Amino acid sequence: MTRLTFLGTGTSQGVPIIGCRCPVCQSADVRDKRFRSAAFVQHDGLNILVDAGPDFRSQMLAHGISHLDAILLTHSHKDHTGGLDDVRSLNYIDKKAVEIFCEERVLQSLRIEYSYAFEEHKYPGAPEWHVHLIDERPFRVDSLEGTGDLEWVHDTGYFYRQPDGSLRPSDNAVVEAPHAQPNVVPIRGLHSRMPVLGFRFGNIAYITDMSTLPESEFPKLQGLEHVTLNTVSYHPHHSHFSLEEALRLSGRIGARHTWLTHLSHAFPSYNDFCAELKQRCAEMGISSDVQPAYDGLSIRDQKL
């Protein structure tokens, strides 16, 4: 069984937006309170996080998540990477480096944004990462078990205990992700002109921050139980699907359920939006069950 929990379903500013007095931002419905977009996936016996934005700490605490086998990054924008420093808590609890899977262009952004994490002589307590480079090929995520324990030396940093008892300084190693026996399928898209990735886990696909989905990617989306698509506005947008584009894409993909994420306050409050989507899908002849996702919603694929 694969389960995906939406940890955040809002835009880069979240909902409510600071200082906004619109009805959605002032709504008392908890389903209208949206952290920045992220998803927690339990798949193949693993705990996988997709994106770690500025709300990472709050999301982990809200859902009681204390262990991750991997973090998959869709792209380099701050609302999807801005919480990576907070993996330090997981380093200490698990005594492991956190395994990050991303493209080369995302790694280059991390080297700038988190330069202190890549220095040869790191500041004690800097986040401990192992970076796995991915591309459009399916890849494998494995359990952290057996990867070696980190030992914390006060005021000095993390080390690996060697067989002879000596301590080897840790490093944020960069390696290519394994492709044998893959359990994650990347989905290529464009966020305006920026290449980004979505991911398929079993029969659940998670797509966010796209405005274009190339024809070559549709075969990867066949036979889905659930698909997540992003939309921020009724009107055409340079880097996200409009609502109409997302609905037409839902109809073409043909998943049993479609969940909309990366939602802005441009859409009505939750109950009104659900009713609107039901009417729009009926008028457009879309058979997929299309609903807005909300923070804390869990969906499951029980197919083998």
Residue 304's pLDDT is what?
Answer: 47
List helix spans (H) across the chain.
56-63, 78-81, 88-94, 104-113, 243-253, 270-284
Burial 95-112 (b: 16+ CB within 10 A, else e): bbbbbbbbbeebbebbee
What are 6-36's pLDDT values in tens digits?
A: 999 999 999 999 999 999 999 999 999 999 9
pLDDT digits (tens, 9 = 90+) for 105-137: 999 999 999 999 999 888 888 999 999 999 999
**Hey, what's the torsion of the CAs at 69, 71, 72, 73, to 10 degrees?**
-170
Per residue in 245-254, pLDDT tens?
Answer: 999 999 999 9
pLDDT in tens, 178-191: 999 999 999 999 99
E-strand stretches of the chain: 2-8, 38-43, 46-50, 70-72, 98-102, 129-133, 150-153, 157-161, 167-169, 174-176, 185-191, 194-201, 204-206, 226-230, 257-261, 289-292, 298-301
Q: Which residue has the tokens 């009417």?
A: 279
Residue 85: what residue type?
D
Mean pLDDT of 197-226: 98
Task: Name residue, tokens 């869709």.
Answer: 74
pTM listed for this prediction:
0.96
